[in-house]
Amino acid sequence: MRKFHVPGVVAVLAALTLTGCGALQPGTAVEVGEERISLDQVDEIAADFCAALEPQLEGEAQTFPHSFFRSGIAGTLALRSVADQLAEDYGVTGEDSDQYLETVAGLRQQIASVPEDLRDSVLEVQTAPPYVEAVQAAVGEVVLDGRGEYADFVAAGTDEFETWIAENGVEFDPVLGTRTKDGGLTAEDGSVSFAVSEMAKNGQVEEPNSVTARLLPATQRCGR
């Protein structure tokens, strides 16, 4: 199987502003404007992605805490949701652009050996960055009335992306530890509880170390 990327910090946006710490509905991972992404959805995709990635991780003797996947995937789904809603507002789509279709075709080839029941989750994660860019380009082309190059469209679309977030808000469940930092998404512990043991702390680092990740129980790690 060809390698595919582990979802870590998602830095597709030039800037991302979260709303204040309001009360989320029980079971909610992220609220993106008026759209709700459930913790169950995040956990399901994270479990599938871990299962698909395990042969590669074992071959490279790497291990990651499940919390690392949950945080990255929650951020990924949030970005896709913003892109979906922004595309609807502007009456555009990013899914028919040549760049996006070419990227998706390449990713499908890369994961051809992944069990079929896991592929949709892997694609959901892996196609998020090119999908976001494709939407930004389509929106930017509308904003600039078709005048400019692809990079100009993406830049203009990114501005609209940021404006949408500022006006509509993106709020994560603190348990996911997903926050903004230096203009992008990052994993930071924002929960109201503290990790009081070394084992608990191993699951909260921003860039997990395989040695410390292996100290976690099997149910809390991906890879061996």
Residue 179 domain boundaries: 28-218
153 within some domain: yes
Determine the average pLDDT of the residues in 1-9.
42
**pLDDT of the residue at 187:** 47
In Å, what is the CA distance from 152 to each residue of 78, 90, 93?
24, 17, 18
**pLDDT of the residue at 192:** 30
Banded pLDDT at 137 (limits 50, 70, 90):
very high
What percent of the residues of the chain are helix, what percent strand, and what percent coil, each to the nearest 5?
55, 10, 35
Angle separating helix axes 66-90 and 39-59, nearest 10 degrees: 120
9 within some domain: no
**pLDDT of the residue at 142:** 97
Per-residue pLDDT for 20 more than 60? no
192 within some domain: yes
Greater model confidence, 222 or 22: 222
**pLDDT of the residue at 220:** 56
- Biggest alpha carbon distance in the chain? 57
**pLDDT of the residue at 7:** 38
Residues 164-215 have pLDDT tens digits of: 988 998 888 887 766 544 334 544 443 332 222 333 333 333 444 444 444 4
- Amino acid (one-letter) located at 171: E
200 within some domain: yes
Residues 62-120 have pLDDT tens digits of: 666 666 678 888 888 999 999 999 999 999 999 988 989 999 999 999 889 889 999 99
> Do 139 and 86 form a contact (C-beta atoms < 8 A)?
yes
Letter string b/e over residues 18-44, b meaning 16 or more CB atoms within 10 A of that residue's CB: beeeeebeeebbbbbbeeebebebbbe
pTM, rounded to two decimals = 0.74
130 within some domain: yes
66 within some domain: yes
15 within some domain: no
Banded pLDDT at 47 (limits 50, 70, 90):
confident
Greater model confidence, 209 or 32: 32
Rounded to whole angstroms, the Cα distance separating 143 from 154 reads 10
Give alpha helix (H) positions in 169-221: 198-202, 210-213
> Do 172 and 74 form a contact (C-beta atoms < 8 A)?
yes
Banded pLDDT at 26 (limits 50, 70, 90):
confident
Question: Domain count of the chain?
Answer: 1
